[in-house]
A and B are shown apart, each in its own frame.
Chain A
Amino acid sequence: MTIHHGRGFACINYPIGMNLGGDPAQALVHSTPDGKFMVTLSAIDLGQGMKSVTRQIAAEALGVPIEDVYVDTADSDTGPHDMGSFASRGTHRVGNAVIRAASEARAQMMEAAAEELEVNATDLDTDGLGNIQVKGAPTRSITVAETAIAAQFKQGRTLSGRGIFLIEPSGVDPDTGEMSPVTTYAHAALIVDLCVDDETGEVEVQKINSAYEVGRALNPKLVEQQLIGGAWMGISHALYETTEPYYPDRSHGPNDFNTYLMPGPGEIVPHDIAVLERPAADAPYGGKGPGEMCANPVLPAVANAVYNAVGVRVDKLPITPEKILRGLQANGGARPGPRRPGA
């Protein structure tokens, strides 16, 4: 029995969203009478941080404290239309819609404040702390709350905005089939170090090093959280999970958590992450979003590392001990590949 070490590399260009049908997202923003702002979305927060990041984006675009912004999501009966959470589109598509809605609401807020202060709205600015001031004369100011009250009860005006973000549906060139379904890509490169036991076929992942380019990391802790959790999913897909281990025979398939394998807390892989920020031109404040890309490059990197370790090229997931042992048998034993210094 020998333990063979292997290192695998993979990189990815990941399209943010897909606009074959246009991929629109809508947002509505309105103020409550006490000067708080409600962002209404049908986008879904299932733990990836949609509510947090759209709240940040709305506060930034409105020019008000983040504490004064609420986000209401995920009722497609009553909310504005959204295509959903998929293709890593949330931050980019919904964020852009929120900026537009919040900007329209901000313009109305400035008009209402201008009327109260008897100045021109273009002479006003927000301080981000809940006040609207005359530029260059900050003592001439009104609070956002007072502005909202005046708009509601005196001026008969709503402080509200509508936003939609729609990339033109991409056409297909009838001669070449060429099309351009995305406008923005995120990127990553990832290295996996692991070892393979050539007697049992078992793989132990030892270390992940990764670099992700996700535009501006609008909320760095949420980005890191997604990258750590996503890499776990990648390891799980690469080595453990399948609903059909003996396809097309379903009879031996897993039907509960006892037989559907996943790595547990005992199989945590140390993961060093470098987040490179290259703000994207058409993204909300430059943020593209990690999304699905957190998991994807892990799979080819694991497959490449197994090949580097024992010379077995597994092309069907998951890479189980059984597949590795069959490969070793076909090859007449382990054929360790070249190793780089430090690997």
Chain B
Amino acid sequence: MAKRPISFTLNGTETGIFVNEGQNLLEALRREAGDLSPKFGCGQGTCGACTILIDGAPHLGCLTLAEAAQGRSIETTSGLADGPDLHPLQRAFMEGFAAQCGFCTSGMLMAAKALLVTNPHPTRDEVIEAISGNLCRCTGYEPIVDAILDAAIRLQGRVA
């Protein structure tokens, strides 16, 4: 099967890869673009571990066709930190003990970022709604919700 070239912006960098027809974006990002931060959890859109941002909106990488990324801007957890400086969401997760095994964390971070970009001062219920598509097996969710609310305070006056 012939591969097709696509190009998009990945965390601010122009990126070109070859993809198979029907290949999903998660696999293309991990295998072709070499970005291992979106995780393969269930492959059917129920766990949220592959959550990425496409033009700022949260999408499930496993349910998105790679070819749909053509010309779009894609953000993953790899792009959150600014050099050695962690993103306020990452700091809040770390200091709030919001990660244990860490498998859900990158999806949680991207779902949280999508929320804080559009809603910088979310209520607790709005945070819960924003991460309701992301499964976590370790934390009981409470430290994650707390960390996202904490990050909203840390980000005050800045864009997420």
Contact = CB atoms under 8 A, between A and B. Distances in A.
Interface of A: 46-48, 221-222, 224-225, 228-233, 256-258, 262, 264-266, 268, 271
Interface stretch (B77-85, B114-122, B141-149): B141-149
Contacts of A228: 139-140, 142-143
Contacts of A230: 140
A46 B102 CA distance: 9
A225 B143 contact: yes
A296 to B, nearest CB: 15
B145 A268 contact: yes
A262 B101 contact: no
Contacts of B139: 225, 228-229, 232
Which 7 A/B pairs are nearest by Cβ-Cβ distance? A232-B140, A47-B100, A47-B101, A257-B46, A265-B141, A225-B97, A229-B140
A84 to B, nearest CB: 16
Given A47-B102, A265-B131, A265-B132, A256 B46 contact: yes
Given A257-B47, A265-B145, A268-B145, A48 B140 contact: no
Contact of B138 (A47, A224, A257): A47
Question: Dominant SS at the B interface?
Answer: loop
Nearest to B144: A265
B42 interface: yes
B46 A268 contact: no
A230 B102 CA distance: 16
A257 B132 CA distance: 13
Interface string B123-145: 00001110110010111111111
B128 A266 contact: yes
Contacts of B102: 47
A231 B145 CA distance: 16
Contacts of B132: 264-266
B70 interface: no
B141 A232 contact: yes
Interface in B89-122: 97, 99-102
Contact of A257 (B42, B99, B100, B127): B42
A271 B144 CA distance: 15
Contacts of A225: 97, 100, 139, 143
B104 to A, nearest CB: 10
A268 B141 contact: yes
B140 A268 contact: yes
Interface string B28-46: 0000000000000010101
Contact of B44 (A221, A256, A271): A256
